[in-house]
């Protein structure tokens, strides 16, 4: 092959590349590897199965894993904290209403009086009652969950 006057470096680079490939091919053949082998074909059903011969055990207590116990405790704690925050907000609002209104505007709702005509604190007292009942139910559920965890032998670290 003759050298092109425009691209004098093209031929030596390709010749060097060809020489490297030949040397690698000879080294591979000398090592007994021969031509590279194609990877074995793997079916989709094999990819979706866990390898056989291995044990994948998940530690469970009371039929639930660590993360399941933690999520149950966390959900109850979160719900309880939200209810307590709402109760505190309603109680503060009731104090503000009581301090800023006349005594005749406060009191129980009388029979036959619509919600719009009810005393100013009626709605807040109802909210406070609901939040207190909700907090009591959530504390009972927390106690029940603690008892379940104790009976199942759940470690304290799983409850945090």
DSSP 48-108: TSPPTT------EETTEEHHHHHHHHHHHHHHHHHHHHHHHHHHHHHHHHHHHS-GGG-SP
107-143 residue pLDDT tens: 555 455 444 444 567 778 888 999 999 999 999 999 9
27-36 residue pLDDT tens: 555 555 556 6
Tokens of 136: 């009591």
Q: At what angle do helices 66-100 and 122-152 cross, to 10 degrees?
A: 160
Task: Domain ranges for the chain, please list them.
Answer: 60-159
């Amino acid at each position: 092959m003759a050298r092109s006057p425009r691209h004098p470096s093209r031929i030596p680079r390709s010749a060097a590349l060809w020489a490297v490939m030949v040397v690698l091919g000879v080294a591979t053949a000398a090592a007994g590897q021969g031509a590279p082998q194609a990877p074995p074909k793997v079916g989709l059903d094999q990819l979706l199965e866990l390898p056989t011969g291995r044990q994948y055990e998940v530690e469970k207590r009371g039929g639930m894993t660590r993360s399941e116990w933690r999520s149950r405790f966390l959900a109850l704690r979160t719900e309880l904290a939200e209810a307590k925050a709402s109760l505190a907000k309603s109680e503060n609002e009731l104090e503000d209403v009581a301090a800023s209104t006349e005594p005749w505007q406060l009191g129980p709702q009388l029979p036959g009086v619509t919600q719009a005509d009810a005393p100013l604190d009626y709605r807040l007292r109802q909210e406070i009652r609901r939040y207190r009942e909700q907090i009591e139910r959530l504390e009972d559920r927390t106690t029940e969950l603690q008892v379940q965890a104790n009976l199942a032998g759940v470690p304290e670290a799983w409850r945090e």
